[in-house]
Structure 1
């Protein structure tokens, strides 16, 4: 199990570098657009579209990293108000439900790529399945990271408590 987790974490390191490069490229493109539009009075025709597609990829590649690092938005009050064993079961059940969603997203995203494959973007003229490819790629990465989270829960003796748990404990002490 640890080998699988290490393999997924290695993929995440590469994805993290890609997300950083996308953010840098997006920033440069947006700054170039600002200078082009306001200083040279000649806006770039392609910059908004490229920035938009880069943002989509950044979100779909960044979400799996957030999932793996337990940084996704969650309502933790219920999970933190039960015992450690019940918390572990609840978090694994949540990840299993998430896996079902990621599989649906993967299949539907793949179907969408086929539907929009003949369309082309307005400014760049690229096939629209290139921007839509972010959906199944992100879903596959989220699926892998959900598996890593479950394996981590199964191999650890305890599930870490969050800030919510600390607040609840302080409230009980008062």
Structure 2
């Protein structure tokens, strides 16, 4: 299971790195061209916007895994241990329900937009909207890998790249 988790996280991270790098190159190149030649790449803004959507949905899982999303924890801090665990179970169930909602409605959006084309690149909007159900599935997998530690001890994952508890105390 640890091998799967390491591989899963590595693939997710590399997808994010490559998307961000490609988006940065496209935007930088477009800005340079605009200022040096007064011409721009006509598809640059559209493609970079779509890449940003994909970055958002693919990046939500690792951020959840490391406890990087905004959370209000005052109530569970004030509760006795058993009540806090019960509250975190409710939160975990609500999160799983929301992720399922994301997958389901993302799939519906994909079906509805398969024949609508983007303005410049003329690709189906379904390819952009597919970020939502794929991101939802990734959120489920990331959360499944940490949910036990979260529910029992409010622990999130940490590694050499990121430790949410260390950065929260700064």
Query: Which TM-score tier does this pair reach, normalised by the shorter chain?
Result: 0.7 to 0.9
The answer to whether structure 1 residue 91 and structure 2 residue 58 are counterparts is no
Structure 1 runs of 4+ off > 4 angstroms?
Answer: 160-163
Q: Which has the larger radius of gyration?
A: 1
The answer to whether structure 1 residue 103 and structure 2 residue 95 are counterparts is no
Distance apart, 1:81 and its partner CA: 1.9
Q: Distance in 2 between matches of 1:86 and 1:41?
A: 63
> Which one of 51, 55, 67 corresponds to residue 54 of structure 1?
51
What is the TM-score with the length of structure 1 in the denominator?
0.83
Residue 55 of structure 1 aligns to a residue in which SS? helix
Q: Distance in 2 between matches of 1:52 and 1:149?
A: 31
- CA root-mean-square deviation: 2.3
Deviations along 1:56-107, one digit per CA (max 9) or x if unpaired, are 0000000011111111111111122223333233223211101001101101
Structure 2 unaligned regions, length at least 5:
157-164
Q: Contact 2:54/2:131 (CA < 8 Å) preserved in 1?
A: yes
Corresponding position of 1:172 = none
What is the TM-score with the length of structure 2 in the denominator?
0.85
Q: Distance in 1 between matches of 2:3 and 2:65?
A: 12
The answer to whether structure 1 residue 68 and structure 2 residue 79 are counterparts is no
Return the structure number with greater relative CO, CA threshold 8 A, min gap 6: 1
Corresponding position of 1:124 = 121
Corresponding position of 1:7 = 4
Residue 37 of structure 2 aligns to a residue in which SS? coil
Q: Residues 119 and 160 from structure 1, CA distance in 2 versus in 1: closer, same or farther, beyond 3 angstroms?
A: closer
Q: Distance in 1 between matches of 2:3 and 2:80?
A: 29
Q: Contact 1:114/1:129 (CA < 8 Å) preserved in 2?
A: yes
Structure 1 unaligned regions, length at least 5:
167-174
Q: Contact 1:84/1:159 (CA < 8 Å) preserved in 2?
A: no
Q: Contact 1:63/1:142 (CA < 8 Å) preserved in 2?
A: yes
User: What is the aligned length?
Assistant: 160
Q: Contact 1:8/1:144 (CA < 8 Å) preserved in 2?
A: no
Q: Distance in 2 between matches of 1:109 and 1:160?
A: 29
Distance apart, 1:146 and its partner CA: 2.1
